[in-house]
Amino acid sequence: MNQSFSIPAGDFSHAGQAASEIKRLLKQLNIPPKVIKRVVVALYEAEVNVVAHSFGGSISCTITPEHIDIVVSDCGPGISDIELAMSEGYSTASSEVREMGFGAGMGLPNIKNNSDSLDISSSEQGTSIHMRVNFKEHTP
């Protein structure tokens, strides 16, 4: 099953709509609530990142019986130092983003903590993150 969403840049009112839709879908598929929470937290943070930091992007979700694969791609300007961006507390967010309750340098760490695999590639042309969450219940 495939689902795609587009994310306009800078439009905070729409951030979370894709996560909301995926949450509804996973509930219908009887995925365990704890797993759904991992998926939607990671996806929501990724949506906020695209709205907050990029020139716009898109989300593509593929659901199989075992897992969900989510690819979030944007049109730039890219992350100059991914390792630094992954460290908790590091942020390049604008004051507008902070006013929305984000921008504390927790987005990418939250995505990492809630996905079973995470790949990030980035250039000036754009950033693409691929995350997978397995449906078998996670034991922390």
Q: Phi, psi at residue 25, to the nearest 5°?
A: -65, -45
Residue placing its CB nearer to another protein in the complex, 86 or 100: 100
Residue placing its CB nearer to another protein in the complex, 76 or 86: 86
Binding mask 7-46 for another protein (x = CB under 8 A): -----xx-xx--xx--x---------x---x--xx--xx-
The least CB distance from residue 33 to another protein, in Å, is 7
The least CB distance from residue 69 to another protein, in Å, is 19
Per DSSP, the three-state class of 120 is strand
Binding to another protein by residue 5, rule CB under 8 A? no
The least CB distance from residue 105 to another protein, in Å, is 8
Q: Which residues contact 26 (CB under 8 A, 6 or more apart)?
A: 35, 36, 39, 40, 63, 68
In angstroms, the CA 48 to CA 81 distance is 19
State the burial class of residue 99 (Cβ atoms within 10 Å of its Cβ: 0-12, 13-18, 19+): exposed
Q: How far is CA 60 from the centre of its chain?
A: 11
Which parts of this chain interact with another protein (CB under 8 A)? Answer: 12-13, 15-16, 19-20, 23, 33, 37, 40-41, 44-45, 48, 99-102, 104, 106-107, 110, 113
